[in-house]
Structure 1
Amino acid sequence: MSYSLTPIRVKLIPKTWTNEATWQIQMSNKLLTHLQLNKNRKLNIKIGQKTITSEIQIAEIAINEIHLPDHMIKALMLPIQCYTFQANVFSKSHTLKLGPVIGLLTDFKTNQMVEPYFRTIHLFCEELHRGICEYGGFFYVFSFDQFSDSGYYLEDGKWVPANLPMPDVIYNRIHSRKLENSTLYKEFRQKLDEHMIPFFNDRFLSKWEAHEKVKIESQLYSYIPETKICSKELFYDFAQKYETIFLKPIHGSQGRNIIKVKEEGHQHYTLQTSLPALTNHLTEKYSLDEIYQQIKPLLHHQIYIIQQGITFIKHQSRTMDFRVLCHKDQNNQWIVTSTVARIAAEKEFVSNLAKGGTITRPLNALRTCMSDKQSIEVLALIKELALETAEVISRHSEGITGELGIDIGVDQEGKPWLIEVNSKPSKNFEDGLGKIRPSAKAIIQFCSKLAHDSALEKEELN
């Protein structure tokens, strides 16, 4: 659904020019004409889910500005300051829709006496704030128990608590799978449905869910290592079938709690793990029975997948894979916003940054293993596989999926393999601290589209 928005600067009318009995919006005659408004008709001004009614006053001000008194800004539940918004007009209800108001949902400790810390996405929240201010809109962060009452917005480098308008769209960055399954969270989701507020990044996908969705369409079969829910029988079966196997918790993240079993010949195997409870002794050889006895307690406490190991190209003898960030754009099309090569730390077999991994440019990493020409071709294949995976996942998922982090390995022949799909990818691995990264811009544009489409749907229902 295409749409056209007008950037508008909202400025404050000095208190000496008006009083609280005056509910007027000032704009130039040119802006009035451009927006196709009727100056003799009451105008509804809507920001987020909040609407007020005003008269229109023609004033000699810049064409891209509207002026409002303080008390009207307060009535819209906004902090008293100047804003840049994207504007749209709904002629039937004579409504000027300003926004988008984007709320980011996450879990954090709330104490109005102490500035909140949003954990691994704290800097990313600041980046989104800057990007939305540039693009046009208002951004704040909230926890679901604050919904419809309050949140935190950034002012002079500090996150300030305030009563704020319910958002046009919500971007889900909750850290906890457990929290997403709680009764309180489900009640919150019900409120969103009642208010028809789009909810972007619906929920965590487990490794098994993602695998099952990718398997639905046959074009990806040949790029997926064989993967099953682990059992004792399958452990022995996979270990005898493949030289290397991996066991991963279906709800794991950041390379934690992964087990690697590799055959070293004559029915002897090495065990490598990122589990703190198990010690890596790469010089020790075990039988399958001995390894199974070590991992058996883990399999009783949580669900693991077991996966065929592929021999991937390495970077200076270190494990290497590629993280591709994919986002939906304002046209609802999947695009690649970032690709990095992830290099494992010394003696680690997972490349995650949380485990000491580092990142480098993908072409530079590929060129250490192959020619320039092949490196360019392989990188194109990596991105193509990522986009196809994102499309399939979103097509077979409930809710709104607009962001995925896709991990891909490359084998000795240059073939890409799908390792893992992350529904809430880390924000810490991209280059560009201090600037608005393409991934953040894509999120802002997609949220703007969702907000616009939702507002249009509500207008048509009225």
Structure 2
Amino acid sequence: MTRTKVGISIQGTSIYLDDRTVVLSEAIAKKWKVPSNQTITMRFGSAKQDVKIVTASTSNSLRVNPALASKIGLHHGAQLNLHYRQNASTLSIGPLIGVMISRVYASSNDRPFGAITAFCKEMTDACDLFGAIVCFFPPDEMRANAQTLSAYSYSNGSWSKKTFPIPNVIYNRLTSRKYENMANVQQFMKDAKARHATDIFNEKYLNKTEVFEALRKDNTLHGYLPESYLFKNYQMLKSMAARHPVLFLKPITGSLGKGIIRIRKEAGDGFTCHFTNLAGVRKQSFSSLTAVFQALSGKLKTQRYQLQQGLDLITSDGNPVDFRALVQRGAQGQWAITSIVGRIAGTQHFVSNLARGGSLTTVPGALAKSSFSSATRVSVSGRLRKASLDIAKGIETQIPNHFGELGIDLAVDKMGKVWLLEVNSKPSKDDNTPLNNERKIRPSVKQIVQYARFLAKF
């Protein structure tokens, strides 16, 4: 696709520059065959404005009146893509990307969005690079039938709140199901899609049961799926315990390794349970499976669990290892692997989340301490990549929602077989930090902006 990037210049000094006249570089007007001195439509996000184009011998710029800029959320110095459609007499600039965030701390100038402020600044820098504007807004700014949006953006060295049109593309970074399920949020998303043809990606949380039931419909993915069911009753526990020496119970909406229970069969009729909590792991022994179920029955009343076959995972210095693949769509809309990192569980833990004392390593680093030969390590590394893409495509095919990135947690057993642990539609923006701390725009952030630009057809 041919792209032209223009710098937005806001000036109201010229005698002829009212809010219906814009000044475009002659070279760009000529390239796109934009007619001068006649009325055309200018689009930015959902905003449409009838304007008259005047050309000037400036280089790669679009000059607009301050009143028009303020009305549609443009700022001086913004770098945007531009194209002109002759058949519709429409000059489009953009894209405008909206990011749904959980909360704003208005009193904090340095960290208005809390822990994700640095990510939001990184998104802004990536948009400058690729020719886009990004704005950020919490649930209380989302309304039914909205024509405009009050949102935060970064320009001229600080964050400020402005009025924007409804964005071309919205990226859902709400980190709570509670916020995502609010009536006004759901209605806002529905209206944005229906009224303004806005593309919304990562539009919902996934839960563990939904993922495994969806992927089970695809025969080509069965090899990645440990035996796994929504936990319902004692009979199910008994049946699974007869087939597998170790079982896991995972809250279906859980994250960060919270609330996971490991059930291990011991000699005789005994079982040992390990419960994760904030302080670490609590161990409890039971004389029978019936006693285990009785101990769990209270939890089942307040939380739904996925019951999953335990796997004999590779370890590093005795600690279990798993892998997080970040799979994203990019500039052509295709799934690609942005990164895969190894995660080593902390001492005394059996889950690898960083929040539970786990540590990051490279894939070769994670496999180096396994008993695999060097040829097997190369083979396993390739299998991890293939599984990541297969599973992302399976989610796309089997779940009727739009996702632009997925965090896919995989495990490798001692035979070298790759297994799916879970899929996360809100992968942490800290978890996948490269294993160096240079302050550059991460590839994962560039992918998000390039995918948004692809969706918006810029």
For the criterion TM > 0.5, the same-fold answer is yes
Query: Following the alignment from structure 1 to structure 2, what is the Cα–Cα distance between the partners of residues 156 and 414?
Result: 52
- What whole-Å deviation, never above 9, does each CA across 1:360-388 have from its counterpart, x for those lacking one? 11112112213333222211110101100
Runs of 4+ in 1 over 6 A off after TM superposition: 112-116
* Residue 449 (structure 1) shift: 1.4
Q: In the comparison of the two structures, how many residue pairs are matched?
A: 447
Identity %: 30
* Residue 279 (structure 1) shift: 6.1
The residue aligned with 1:322 is 323
- What whole-Å deviation, never above 9, does each CA across 1:397-421 have from its counterpart, x for those lacking one? 2231221110110011111111111
Task: Tell me the secondary structure at the aligned position of residue 365 of structure 2.
Answer: helix
Task: Tell me the secondary structure at the aligned position of residue 222 of structure 1.
Answer: helix
Shift in alpha-carbon separation, 1:344–1:216, aligned structure 2, 3 A? same
Shift in alpha-carbon separation, 1:32–1:21, aligned structure 2, 3 A? closer
Task: Tell me the secondary structure at the aligned position of residue 34 of structure 2.
Answer: coil
Shift in alpha-carbon separation, 1:448–1:317, aligned structure 2, 3 A? same
Does the 8 A contact of 2:71 with 2:164 survive in 1? no
Q: TM-score, normalised by structure 1?
A: 0.91
Pairing partner for 1:450 from 440, 447, 455: 455
Does the 8 A contact of 1:223 with 1:416 survive in 2? yes
* Residue 290 (structure 1) shift: 2.8
Mean Cα displacement is larger for which, 379-388 or 147-156?
A: 147-156
Q: Given residue 403 of structure 2, which amino acid in structure 1 is its aligned partner?
A: T
Does the 8 A contact of 2:19 with 2:64 survive in 1? no
Query: Following the alignment from structure 1 to structure 2, what is the Cα–Cα distance between the partners of residues 421 and 69?
Result: 47
Shift in alpha-carbon separation, 1:210–1:303, aligned structure 2, 3 A? same
Query: Following the alignment from structure 1 to structure 2, what is the Cα–Cα distance between the partners of residues 354 and 281?
Result: 20
Task: Tell me the secondary structure at the aligned position of residue 27 of structure 2.
Answer: helix
Q: Does 1:74 align with 2:70?
A: yes
Pairing partner for 2:93 from 83, 91, 98: 98
Task: Tell me the secondary structure at the aligned position of residue 282 of structure 2.
Answer: coil
Q: TM-score, normalised by structure 2?
A: 0.92
Mean Cα displacement is larger for which, 239-248 or 291-300?
A: 291-300
The residue aligned with 1:457 is none
* Residue 394 (structure 1) shift: 0.8
* Residue 331 (structure 1) shift: 2.1
Shift in alpha-carbon separation, 1:235–1:25, aligned structure 2, 3 A? same
Task: Tell me the secondary structure at the aligned position of residue 74 of structure 1.
Answer: helix
Show structure 1 runs of 5+ residues with no match: 454-462
The residue aligned with 2:163 is 163
Pairing partner for 1:85 from 80, 83, 88: 80
Does the 8 A contact of 1:199 with 1:399 survive in 2? no
The residue aligned with 1:55 is 52
Does the 8 A contact of 1:179 with 1:185 survive in 2? yes
The residue aligned with 2:223 is 222
Show structure 2 runs of 5+ residues with no match: 143-147
Q: Given residue 41 of structure 1, which amino acid in structure 2 is its aligned partner?
A: Q
Q: Given residue 66 of structure 1, which amino acid in structure 2 is its aligned partner?
A: L
Shift in alpha-carbon separation, 1:76–1:290, aligned structure 2, 3 A? same
1:410-429 residue pairs with structure 2 within 5 A? Answer: 410-429=412-431
The residue aligned with 1:41 is 38
Query: Following the alignment from structure 1 to structure 2, what is the Cα–Cα distance between the partners of residues 239 and 411?
Result: 19
| RMSD, matched Cα | 2.2
* Residue 101 (structure 1) shift: 0.5
* Residue 27 (structure 1) shift: 2.7
Shift in alpha-carbon separation, 1:18–1:83, aligned structure 2, 3 A? farther
Does the 8 A contact of 2:280 with 2:348 survive in 1? no
The residue aligned with 2:145 is none
Query: Following the alignment from structure 2 to structure 1, what is the Cα–Cα distance between the partners of residues 315 and 295?
Result: 29
- What whole-Å deviation, never above 9, does each CA across 1:78-121 have from its counterpart, x for those lacking one? 34x21100112121222111111000012214647877643453
